[in-house]
Structure 1
Amino acid sequence: MKKTELIEAMAVATGESQASSARALEALINIIAKEVAAGGEVAITGFGSFKTSARGERTGRNPRTGEPLTIAASKSVKFVPGATLKTAVSTGAPQ
C-alpha cells in the first residue's frame, strides 16, 4: 500500500475527506520524525514504537578491491512492533 492508498483507506474508515486524512497523516509523520530526531521515542500502544538507534564505527571491506575501510558511526530509526500488530501479522487477521 502506497501513501495515496493509505490516505484513501483512512478517509473511508473515518468518513473524513481525503484532504483531511492527508493532513492528519502528514501531521503524524512530522510529529514522529521530530520526536525521534530529537532522541525521543514514540510509542503507539498495540502498534509499536519508533526510536533512535546508534551504530558504532566499524570496519568493512570495499567490495571491488577487498581493501578494509572504516564505516563511520551513524544513527538510524528503529521500529519495534507491538503485541497487537505482531498478532495480526502472525494470524493474518486484524485485531
Structure 2
Amino acid sequence: MAMNRSELEAAVAKKTENSQTAVKAVLDAVFDVFVEQISQGEKVSIPGWLAVERTERAARTGRNPQTGETIQIPAGHSVKLTAGSKLKAAVSGK
C-alpha cells in the first residue's frame, strides 16, 4: 500500500505537532525548490537520504506501437533519484 500526499502531510503533522496546513506549505516549498534547482541543471542532495538530479537522454530511434513505423525520438531530459545510505540501510534493515 502506497502513502499518498495527504497521508504523508498528516503523518508529518502528527510527528512534528504542527498543523497539516503548515506541513503542506513546507512540502510545497520543498518541491518548488526541487523543481527550480533541477530545471536549472543543479543537483539537490540531502546527504544520507537522497539525491535528485536532471539527466540527459540521447536522441534515439523508436517504434510506433500501433503501426510498427520507425520514429525518431528527440534528445531530452529526465530526472534521476538516488537513495542515500540512511535510506538504503532503513530498507535493508541494517
Structure 2 length as normaliser, TM-score? 0.92
Q: Deviations over 1:47-89 (max 9, x none)?
A: 1100001101000112222221101111111101101111111
SS in 2 for 1:16: coil
Counterpart residue number, 2:83: 81
Number of residue-to-residue matches in the alignment:
92
- What's the CA shift for 1:36? 0.4
Q: Which aligned segments of 4 or more residues in structure 1 are displaced greater than 3 angstroms?
A: none
Counterpart residue number, 2:39: 37
1:60-75 counterparts in 2 under 5 A?
60-75=62-77
Counterpart residue number, 2:56: 54
Q: Deviations over 1:10-45 (max 9, x none)?
A: 101111111111111111110111100111010001
Counterpart residue number, 2:27: 25
Q: Partner amino acid for 1:54?
A: E
Q: Which one is further off, 57-66 or 41-50?
A: 57-66
Q: Does 2:36 align with 1:9? A: no
Q: Partner amino acid for 2:38?
A: V
RMSD over aligned Cα, in angstroms? 1.2
Show structure 2 runs of 5+ residues with no match.
Answer: none
